[in-house]
Structure formats: structure tokens, C-alpha cells
Amino acid sequence: MKIEAILGDITKQKVDAIVNAANSALAGGGGVDGAIHRAAGAEQMHAACAKLGGCPTGDAKPTPGFRLPAKWVIHTVGPRYRDGQHGEPEALASCYRRSIEVAEELGAASIAFPAISTGIYGYPLEEAAHIAVGTLREVRSSIVQLARLVAFDQYTLSLYLAELGI
Ligand code: AR6
């Protein structure tokens, strides 16, 4: 699986699946979650999420992408950061791992990730970038060929590029 990092808006990505940084109720919200709901079509996305019965932290569940260029949205729930001593690194790594597993179940060859937990949930950007790249590097998949890390700001991109050794 190839891993790349770009600066951009995840709702614009032409990949098979984009990942949403959701909450455990899958109720929609602000940040990237709000942007994805709006771009997909809020009404349809809300209805599809409501059928999933929530999602535990560290897990991932799919819906269609509706009006998005991406065929699927994989909703994952990152940890709220407290001090890093409450299972946050494991939960964040699990989000990346489980999202890839769900992508494999969907037959998605390409997937794009936002910087899960680094906004409203307060995960330190440096640690989150390290976990994102480290976890994706461990993935062996014959189905998912491309994982794209989509940074919404230049600093996050610089962290990804450093972790990737670019
Ligand atoms: N494209 C790519 N990245 C984006 C975009 C975008 N369009 N918009 C924001 N980001 P956040 P969290 C980045 O807060 O911390 C929601 O209310 C943003 O700069 O969206 O996991 C949910 O419903 C940041 O780096 O997600 C939950 O309640 C990253 O996406 C809660 O927020 C994640 O920030 C989840 O919080």
C-alpha cells in the first residue's frame, strides 16, 4: 500500500473512500464531519448514519458517499485527547487500522484520511501524525493500494512529510 500526503480538502478527494472523523453517536457535528455531511448531502448522510446505531471509539463503519466524488465514507471515531495515558494512542491507531479493514470489505482500492482527533478532540498534531504514518506503514493489503493523508494546513502536511521521510 502506497502512503502519500497532500494539502487539501477531504470532501474533494477522488478516491474510492474517504474517512470521516466522527463522534460515537454518528450524529454529525463540526469540523471535517460537518464538511463531509454538507458536501455529501446532509439529509441523506444523516439518515444513513442514523441506521448504523453509533460507533465505538477506535472503530469504523461505512455509508455511501452520496454526492461526494468518493463512493464511500468510512466513519471512524477518534479518541478525545486527555493526557495520552488513557488509551488514546491505541484508540487512534485502531481508527486507521479499522478504516483500512472496512475499505477492504468494501473493495476500495484508494482511501483518504483527515487528521483524525486533531481538531475538536485535541490530539497533539505531532503525535497524531506519528501514529497515522506508523500505523499505515504496518498495513499489508492486496485490496487497498493507496492511502492518502489529507492535511488541512501546511504544518500538518510538514509533519506527515517528515514522518514519511519526504
Ligand atoms: N478536509 C480535511 N481536513 C479537514 C477538513 C476538510 N474539509 N475540515 C477540517 N479538517 P475535527 P476531531 C481537519 O475537529 O478532532 C466533530 O464535531 C482539521 O483541521 O474535524 O476528530 C465530530 O462530530 C483537523 O486537523 O475532528 C466529533 O464530535 C482534523 O480535520 C469531533 O468533531 C480533525 O478535526 C471530532 O473531532
The beta strand positions in 45-123, using DSSP E, are: 60-64, 72-77, 110-113
- Rounded to the nearest whole angstrom, what is the distance from the C-alpha of residue 30 to the centroid of ligand 1? 7
Q: Is the pTM of this model over 0.85?
A: yes
C-alpha cell read off for 152 = 488541512
The structural domain count of the chain equals 1
Q: Which of 12, 32, 82, 111 to mutate to test the pocket of ligand 1 (most atoms within 8 A of CB)?
A: 32
Pair 108, 17: CB distance under 8 Å: yes
Q: Which of 24, 61, 131, 152 to mutate to test the pocket of ligand 1 (most atoms within 8 A of CB)?
A: 152
CA atoms within a 13 Å half-sphere pointing along the CA-CB vector of 25? 4
How far is the C-alpha of 62 from the C-alpha of 36, rounded, in Å? 13
C-alpha cell read off for 52 = 448504523
How far is the C-alpha of 24 from the C-alpha of 49, rounded, in Å? 11
Q: Give the CATH number of the domain where residue 107 resides.
A: 3.40.220.10
Q: What is the pLDDT of residues 92-133, one digit of tens each?
A: 999 999 999 999 999 999 999 999 999 999 999 999 999 999
Q: What is the pLDDT of residues 51-94, one digit of tens each?
A: 999 999 999 999 999 999 999 999 999 999 999 999 999 999 99
- Rounded to the nearest whole angstrom, what is the distance from the C-alpha of residue 35 to the centroid of ligand 1? 9
∠ CA 162-17-68, nearest 5°, is 110
How far is the C-alpha of 105 from the C-alpha of 102, rounded, in Å? 5
How far is the C-alpha of 147 from the C-alpha of 14, rounded, in Å? 12
Q: Which domain holds residue 56?
A: 2-164
